Amino acid sequence: MNWLCVVAGAMIGAPLRHLTDRAVQARLGTLFPWGTFTVNVVGSLVLGVLAGAVTAGAAPEHLELFLGTGLCGALTTYSTFSYETLRLAESGARFSAVANALGSVAAGLGAAFVGVAVAEALWA
């Protein structure tokens, strides 16, 4: 049964990642990978809220598997982030590559901390 929760979440997260990435890139129209940046930060925020809810005992295991492992696992993408950062560096956009690497890590961690703080405020 647990694996069904993961599969169901991933079935939503993967297309959501693709659609969000395309929508953000179409709107901003830049070479910087804003789509991947967006899904990674949003996924970190959701995972932070979920982690806080689980810690407070407000989220059952099935929700953790569905949202955390399934949805967030498929929504966020370390491999695409790495590939896009490498492509920026190889194309000579070294500042953008460094900004993407540092900004993604800082924003992702910040979003996760904010998510945990929100969860603590709601369920503590």
- Per residue in 54-80, pLDDT (tens digit) is 999 999 999 999 999 999 999 999 999
Known binding site: residues? 73, 76
Q: Considering its fold, how many domains does the chain have in total?
A: 1
Return binding residues for Na(+): 73, 76
Tens-place pLDDT, residues 1-44? 899 999 999 999 999 999 999 999 999 988 899 999 999 999 99
Predicted TM-score (pTM) of this structure = 0.95
Domain that holds residue 38: 2-123
Instruction: Give every CB contact of residue 52 below 8 A, 6+ residues apart in sequence.
Output: 115, 116, 117, 118, 119, 120, 122, 123
